[in-house]
Amino acid sequence: MNVTSATDSTSKSSSSTSSTTSTSSTGVDYNTFLQLLIAEMKNQDPTNPMDTSQYMSQFAQLSSVEQAMQTNTKLDALLSSQSLSQADGLIGKTVSFTDSTGATFTGKVASISINSDGSIATLENGTKVAVGPGLTIS
């Protein structure tokens, strides 16, 4: 989308390319997109108007990005739910692991906590163990 600033006094023919498919948390939402679209329509050159198919294409891209973001949010919730279900099955089980120094530890799982880095099992003696490769469950 070519957008020229309404307050740009340097040149009316200069334009900048703006991408509306940002995936950051401060991305462009529908209202902002529509405001930009209206500003672009108001400030376009009447002797050389923009193609309306470009507007529709940009709106379709924005819509697909919005749907992908919603899908990712729902997938994250589903994965968290699955992690909680699996964690429940570990409580009371005996686990053994070898730490980075080569020492081997064994204990019963008292609780499980799930954070963004993964699941952490807390043993009855207070030792915290990352649930993952190298953990033996019996």
Q: How confident is the model at residue 27 (pLDDT cuts 50, 70, 90)?
A: low
Strand partners, 107: 95
pLDDT level of residue 30 (50, 70, 90 thresholds): low
What pLDDT is recorded for position 41?
A: 72
Instruction: Report the pLDDT averaged over residues 37-50.
Output: 74
Q: How far is CA 110 from CA 90, 94, 129, in A?
A: 9, 10, 11
Give 53-102 pLDDT, tens digit per residue: 877 777 777 778 778 888 988 998 888 788 778 777 888 889 888 878 88
Total-model pTM: 0.44
pLDDT, averaged across the chain: 74
Q: How does DSSP assign 103-115, residue by residue? A: -EEEEEEEEEEEE
| 91-137 CATH fold | SH3 type barrels. (2.30.30)
* Structural domain spans, the chain: 2-7+15-83, 91-137
